[in-house]
Chain A
Amino acid sequence: MKKAEAIFEILKNKFPDADIQIDSETPTEPIISIPPKRVYDISLFLRDEEGLLFDSLMCLSGVDDANGEKIKQEDDSEIIKGGTLSVYYHLYSVSLKHKVTIKTSADRENPEVDSVEPVWKTADWHEREAYDMFGIIFLNHPNLQRILMPYDWDAGYPLRKDYKNPEFYKGMKVPY
């Protein structure tokens, strides 16, 4: 059983070239940040390393950090330029009974993150959902298409903070 701080030290020693940080000030659990293009290596290490053995991805969630520049539009709505979109991974080791939270942030304009589908099969639909709702692109995902919204939905990603619902979808009025 290892604490997040200990796991952070192991990761730092194993991947000295990657920008890995820990935020211990959060009210719930400490969060380890890793770069979006190193997610696959680090996940594989977390899963297979003796003493870590994170065999279960409990949850994978997308988050719109909305930390970019907010630009007012003519119709009083806002669009967000720049900033990041994040993906959070909640991992659990069934054999060693410890947990850790990993986070990665990608540019809003080009949100590309490594897929962890080859590491944990659970990630398949979770990543499709994060793609569907936030437009986060998971590189090397075997079937990255929308999962909840209609496959031909072209009005954007609904859970982004600057999302605007379309007036019509296939002739059906959408707003109330």
Chain B
Amino acid sequence: MGLLDQQFSDSNIVITKAEDLMNWARLSSLWQLGFGLACCAIEMMATSASHYDFDRFGVIPRPSPRQSDIIIISGTVTLKMALRIKRLYEQMPDPKYIISMGSCSNCGGPYWEHGYHVLKGVDRVIPVDVFVPGCPPRPEALLEGLLKLQEKIRMETLRKKSV
């Protein structure tokens, strides 16, 4: 779709659906909670840096959960940390989205069997929108995950779901 991909001819009025406009606004500035857990966080920082430039998708890190729209769970979620993650998630204002990055936060990763301290998948405490596989995923994979999330947001609707 894209609202401004056509040039204006004489008038500058754009007609669109309220839903499309809201979704477009929402998906174009996904402020990310500045939060990293393990080696995936290094890849996440690389994605934010100039070479991969997360900012071109409107993703900028915010230091407070109260100002952020997405949280990227980047790394091993220990049982001790899981309680803190849940609290951070609850502090974020709606609408909020979650990307689970890497094998550890997807399913426990290499700690799936003997990791007495690891939560086997962050979706056991908070609802995940997009899972990005990899150990750790390359920045391209995280970007792909973000694009998938944007696609998902683009499909959102304000209408009441008919049962």
Please name the residue on chain A nearest to B117 by beta carbon: A149
- Cβ contact within 8 Å between B79 and A175: no
- Cβ contact within 8 Å between B124 and A173: yes
- Cβ contact within 8 Å between B82 and A172: yes
Chain B residues contacting A169 (CB-CB under 8 Å) are 79
- Cβ contact within 8 Å between A150 and B79: yes
Chain A residues contacting B117 (CB-CB under 8 Å) are 148-149, 158
**Can you list 23 contacts pairing A with B, beta carbon distance less than 8 Å?**
A148-B117, A149-B80, A150-B79, A150-B80, A158-B117, A163-B116, A169-B79, A170-B79, A172-B79, A172-B119, A172-B125, A173-B120, A173-B124, A174-B79, A174-B116, A174-B119, A174-B120, A175-B120, A176-B107, A176-B108, A176-B112, A176-B113, A176-B120
B83 at the interface (CB under 8 A from A): yes
| Complexed CA–CA distance, A172 and B85 (Å) | 13
Q: Which of B12-71 contact A (CB under 8 A)?
A: none
A contact residues, range? 10 to 19
Give the number of chain B interface residues (Cβ < 8 Å).
Answer: 14
The winner among A149, A163, A173, A174 for most chain B CB atoms within 10 A is A174
Q: Which of A69-109 contact B (CB under 8 A)?
A: none
A165 at the interface (CB under 8 A from B): yes
Chain B residues contacting A148 (CB-CB under 8 Å) are 117
- Cβ contact within 8 Å between B116 and A170: no
Sort A-B residue pairs by CB-CB distance and give the 9 closest, nearest first. A158-B116, A150-B80, A176-B120, A176-B112, A165-B116, A169-B79, A172-B124, A172-B82, A172-B119
Given contacts A163-B116, A170-B79, A175-B120, 5 further A-B contacts (CB under 8 A): A149-B80, A170-B83, A172-B119, A174-B119, A176-B113
Please name the residue on chain B nearest to A171 by beta carbon: B125
Please name the residue on chain A nearest to B83 by beta carbon: A170
| Complexed CA–CA distance, A150 and B83 (Å) | 10
Q: Which of A146-176 contact B (CB under 8 A)?
A: 148-150, 158, 163, 165, 169-170, 172-176
| Complexed CA–CA distance, A169 and B83 (Å) | 10
Q: Which of B69-126 contact A (CB under 8 A)?
A: 79-80, 82-83, 107-108, 112-113, 116-117, 119-120, 124-125
The winner among A148, A158, A165, A176 for most chain B CB atoms within 10 A is A176
| Complexed CA–CA distance, A149 and B117 (Å) | 7
Please name the residue on chain B nearest to A146 by beta carbon: B80
Chain B residues contacting A176 (CB-CB under 8 Å) are 107-108, 112-113, 120
| Complexed CA–CA distance, A165 and B116 (Å) | 6
Please name the residue on chain B nearest to A158 by beta carbon: B116
